[in-house]
């Protein structure tokens, strides 16, 4: 299936990315065509263009792109859109913009974050990430919480859903109660197409991620539009998905807190014990360390833990 109508004027463009489900979302107005996320380098030609053809449209008809967040599988098609001559106004949040515009910045701040803790992706993953990111492409501006996009016959609102990234955005169509949330909530992690849990849900701020789950609950959407999950359709399924996302945060907090000891320990220690408790994860397992780090930060803020620099120069945490 190259395109799937989910609601009138709202479409999902489904594909497969490695072992996982993958999707971009499209909102079709009479005057404007909004694409939510551009995928990886190659997604536009391989999936978005064929999907638009089904609607008798082409990538040159896209007027607006909202990039949900700074991860290569959500913006890597930006350069491709430009190569195809697209005039679309491509925007993201102000927070995520510098990472989306520069491979050097995202490689240092997002994907290289683990290095100061002695953790890293393997070489093959680094190669894949750089290729997927496509060419550095300047955005046309930023978009913030509360901005409405009047597309002609349909109006959607951009909402801030931080946590997975500092500036993660979603797009909501209130009339149909459709919340296109991409990676803003990540259940208990990412699954293969045969529903095997393989990768952890990374988030950089526990408070922001919990706040996003709460905000989505209060919006009471009838469906979630995600990047990597099977359809989350109906109030019960949305409730279950948000409950599972919240339960994971509670479980990871318990796992991290249980390992706080008088003896200071590095992130790698907390990551390995957490992986055993809430995983184990077979792919991109290192990304759990980002969430573990966020829980340790929160424990320090709340006075449950103290942090210092260990003998090898790496950060360590102990019980307060
Ligand atoms: Zn992501």
Is the four-CA dihedral 109, 165, 68, 248 of positive or negative sign?
Answer: positive
Strands of the sheet containing 315-319, edge to edge, are 265-266, 315-319, 305-309
pLDDT in tens, the chain (320 residues): 699 999 999 999 999 999 999 999 999 999 999 999 999 999 999 999 999 999 999 999 999 999 999 999 999 999 999 999 999 999 999 999 999 999 999 999 999 999 999 999 999 999 999 999 999 999 999 999 999 999 999 999 999 999 999 999 999 999 999 999 999 999 999 999 999 999 999 999 999 999 999 999 999 999 999 999 999 999 999 999 999 999 999 999 999 999 999 999 999 999 999 999 999 999 999 999 999 999 999 999 999 999 999 989 999 999 99
Query: Cβ atoms within 10 A of the Cβ of 314, count?
Result: 13
Nearest-10 Cα torsion for 302, 304, 309, 310 = -160
List 36's β-bridge partners, or say none: 25, 66
Determine the Cα angle at 271 with ends 256 and 117, to 5°. 120
Residue in 136, 20, 166, 161 with CA at minimum distance from that of residue 75: 136
Find the 182 Cα to ligand 1 centroid distance in Å: 8
Find the 202 Cα to ligand 1 centroid distance in Å: 8
User: SS3 for 182-223, per residue?
Assistant: ECCCCCCCEEECCCCEEECCCCCCHHHHHHHHHHHHHHCCCE
- Is there a contact between 74 and 227 (Cβ–Cβ < 8 Å)? yes
Find the 69 Cα to ligand 1 centroid distance in Å: 7
Find the 15 Cα to ligand 1 centroid distance in Å: 16
């Amino acid at each position: 299936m190259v395109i799937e109508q989910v609601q009138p004027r709202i479409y999902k463009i489904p594909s497969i990315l490695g072992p996982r489900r993958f999707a971009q979302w499209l909102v079709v107005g009479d005057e404007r065509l909004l694409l939510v996320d551009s995928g990886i380098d190659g997604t536009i030609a391989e999936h978005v263009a064929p999907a638009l053809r089904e609607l008798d449209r082409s990538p040159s008809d896209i007027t607006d792109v909202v990039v949900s967040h700074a991860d290569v599988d959500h913006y890597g098609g930006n350069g491709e859109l430009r190569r195809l001559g697209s005039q679309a106004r491509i925007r993201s949040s102000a927070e995520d913009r510098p990472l989306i515009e520069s491979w050097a910045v995202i490689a240092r701040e997002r994907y290289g974050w683990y290095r100061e803790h002695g953790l890293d992706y393997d070489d093959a993953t680094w190669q894949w990430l750089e290729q997927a990111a496509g060419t550095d492409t300047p955005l046309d501006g930023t978009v913030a919480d509360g901005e409405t996009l009047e597309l002609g016959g349909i109006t959607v609102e951009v909402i801030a859903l931080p946590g997975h990234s500092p500036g993660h955005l979603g797009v909501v169509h209130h009339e149909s109660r459709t919340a296109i949330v991409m990676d803003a909530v990540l259940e208990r992690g990412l699954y293969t197409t045969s529903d095997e849990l393989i990768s952890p849900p990374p988030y950089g701020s526990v408070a922001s991620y919990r706040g996003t789950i709460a905000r989505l609950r209060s919006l009471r959407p009838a469906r979630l539009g995600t990047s990597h999950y099977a359809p989350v359709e109906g109030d019960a399924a949305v409730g279950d998905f948000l409950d599972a996302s919240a339960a994971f945060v509670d479980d990871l907090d318990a796992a991290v807190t249980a390992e706080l000891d008088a003896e200071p320990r590095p992130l790698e220690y907390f990551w390995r014990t957490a992986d055993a408790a809430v995983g184990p994860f077979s792919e991109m397992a290192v990304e759990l360390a980002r969430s573990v780090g966020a829980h340790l930060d929160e424990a320090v803020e709340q006075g449950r833990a103290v942090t210092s620099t260990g003998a090898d120069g790496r950060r360590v945490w102990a019980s307060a």
